[in-house]
A and B are shown apart, each in its own frame.
Chain A
Amino acid sequence: MRVFYAAVTSLFLLFFFVSSALAVVEEYTPPPMTEGMYPCSNCHASMEVNRKKRELKEEHTDIKLHHAESMRWCLDCHNASNRDKLRLYNGDLINFTESYRLCGECHGPQYKDWRAGIHGKRVGYFAGPGKRTYYLCASCHNPHDPKFKPIKPERPPHHPREDHDGKSEK
């Protein structure tokens, strides 16, 4: 009888470990930084903090803020004292790799859906011994101008019998 229990337990443990080994490894894409920008403290550690809401004229002029700009500005999300971190509403500081926590503070439903895997993009393996890569919010939505721009569509299909003279579909 003891042998039986031992066998059952070991089988159960084996199954447990094997199944967890077979579970999909989840990872996130790296934050899409402009090259050479990070770490921000390279410049900002030696600069004075100016908390006045204004339009930036000397640097970061390529960033046009179209994201609740009437209510927010740069330092509401970027931590003023340490620019290598982002600032949550309660004052917690997070890395850029976890930027989704910041997005989720305002965009709750989308964040919940994203965590469940039904908002945004995932590639790779959804089951089995593989890797599932979640795309960060910022990978698709530019945090400063999140609305998707229209893009050029791919070519429409050939009309029936249109490509009959052997033109290649390149």
Chain B
Amino acid sequence: MEKLQETLHETWHFYRRTLVLVAKGSRLYYAWCFSLMVIIAAGFFFYLKQHEVGLIATHMTDQVSWGLYIANFTYLVGAAAAAVLLVIPSYVYHFKPIKEIVVLGELFAASSIVMAILFVMVDLGRLDRFWHMIPFIGLMNFPQSLLAWDVLALNGYLFLNLLIPIYLLVKFYYRKEPNWKFILPFILLSIPMAVAIHTVTAFLYNGLPARPFWNASILAPRFLASAFCSGPAIIIIIFQIIRKVSTSRIEIEDEALFKISELIAYAMFLNLFLLFAEIFKEYYSQTVHIASFKYLFEGLHGHKQLVPWIWTAMTMNVIAFIIFLIPHTRKRLATLNLGCLLVIIGVWIEKGPGFVIPGFVPDPLGEIFEYMPNLLELIVSFGIWATGLLIFTLLMKVAIPIETGKFTHTEYKREVIPPRPY
């Protein structure tokens, strides 16, 4: 009982001190947080309008009933799964440069999952009935419905990616050795969980015989391959920004970034190869089901809206692959960053709108409706991205000083930076 009281007291003390940490920062920090909050407010305001009128305020129709929100959701679940590419090198292979930043990567995964969950929430027509999905309180259709699985998997992964970093950070704050017997199983569990969340998301598209564009066994591997390209690319960019702006002078070695980029090279190869396999199957067999591919890559009956987008994405992916493949370009930060940007945008197009929309075109009765998100959807989407960035910023504001040893319990002198306990 006393131990529990002590733990609670410690947690409360930690929480209060993090509030102070988060509230104070450089001018750049204030400017960044303020502009994010402006975008969040705009997104929230437009969402209220959508909530009032109904989803008719978006540009979705019976023909294309999922749009920008679900496209972003798919992409962000992939980005979250990418944290596993940091967890495996650090905890399984004990690769030191990545070990130092794995906690930040896990917090990135948590922010990404929060964004994904928010995108699903704004897409729901009746958010006030969300409680129908809670197991035991509502009536969850488990195990038949893949959406039910997705709810459980996403929340489980979010829980893990908050529990592990926060536990480790709190222990480091108090200069206490983490109880590895307690936390290591969770860490090891997060590895298959990362694969699981993205596989479940792939399966929820995959299991629909009504949509031949999605009903391909190759979907889950393709999702994972593209996730392991885009997620780490975002991580690389973010870590360089952190390295530059953080007042705590955190040491993120270039070695870590280059290792991650090497993993991206493999993942991108797999992504391109699987895409090529799909294209061959469709264009060689030439069944009726090629219609969605035709719409995406060539245009169908004169409807060509997505064609320039997908070809831009393909070009970006191929160029990025070459950049990541060649060690010379991979190990130079300038070209590495270019490659990362190309991957992030290219995979977003390919996996977001370039995946969700062609599944609905043509619709099961052959009708073609060309969907383009309207202003409301764009602003709500920006609002959610800003929310995720803000959450990540605030988490970093706490985590980095702890990692560098600058933010510790007041018992310890500030000048002494003790060795890391793990």
Contact = CB atoms under 8 A, between A and B. Distances in A.
Q: Do chains A and B touch in the complex (CB under 8 A)?
A: yes
Interface of A: 160-161, 164
B364 to A, nearest CB: 14
B51 to A, nearest CB: 18
Interface string B343-370: 0000000000000000000000000010
Nearest to A160: B61
Contacts of B63: 160
B243 interface: no
7 contacts: A160-B61, A160-B62, A160-B63, A160-B369, A161-B59, A161-B61, A164-B56
A164 B376 CA distance: 15
Nearest to B56: A164
B2 to A, nearest CB: 65
B61 to A, nearest CB: 4
Nearest to B62: A160
B400 to A, nearest CB: 47
A83 B61 CA distance: 61
Contacts of A160: 61-63, 369
Contacts of A164: 56
Contacts of B56: 164
A49 to B, nearest CB: 59
Interface in B25-79: 56, 59, 61-63
Interface string B371-390: 00000000000000000000
A161 B374 CA distance: 12
A160 B61 CA distance: 6
A66 B302 CA distance: 46
Contacts of A161: 59, 61
A117 to B, nearest CB: 30
Nearest to A164: B56
A158 to B, nearest CB: 10
A50 B127 CA distance: 81
A18 to B, nearest CB: 39
B197 to A, nearest CB: 33
Contacts of B61: 160-161
A23 B62 CA distance: 42
A164 B61 CA distance: 11
A81 B159 CA distance: 95
B189 to A, nearest CB: 45
A164 B59 CA distance: 10
A160 B64 CA distance: 10
A167 to B, nearest CB: 14
Contacts of B62: 160
A64 to B, nearest CB: 41
The 7 A-B residue pairs with the shortest CB-CB distance, nearest first, are A160-B61, A160-B369, A160-B63, A161-B61, A160-B62, A161-B59, A164-B56
A44 to B, nearest CB: 56
B204 to A, nearest CB: 24
A75 to B, nearest CB: 52
A160 B367 CA distance: 10
B360 to A, nearest CB: 11
A113 B59 CA distance: 48
A164 B55 CA distance: 12
A160 B369 CA distance: 7
B393 to A, nearest CB: 38
A164 B62 CA distance: 14
Interface in B207-237: none
A159 to B, nearest CB: 8
Nearest to A161: B61
Interface string B221-259: 000000000000000000000000000000000000000
B366 to A, nearest CB: 14
A110 B352 CA distance: 55
A160 B56 CA distance: 11
B102 to A, nearest CB: 47
Nearest to A159: B369
A161 B62 CA distance: 10
Nearest to A162: B61
Nearest to B61: A160
Nearest to B367: A160
B117 to A, nearest CB: 28
B365 to A, nearest CB: 11
A157 to B, nearest CB: 10
A161 B61 CA distance: 7
A27 B420 CA distance: 93
A168 to B, nearest CB: 16
B324 to A, nearest CB: 41
A35 B61 CA distance: 51
Nearest to B63: A160
A160 B67 CA distance: 14
Contacts of B59: 161
A161 B371 CA distance: 10
A160 B59 CA distance: 10
A82 to B, nearest CB: 56
B277 to A, nearest CB: 33
A140 to B, nearest CB: 29
B124 to A, nearest CB: 21
A143 B61 CA distance: 47
A3 to B, nearest CB: 50
A138 B56 CA distance: 48
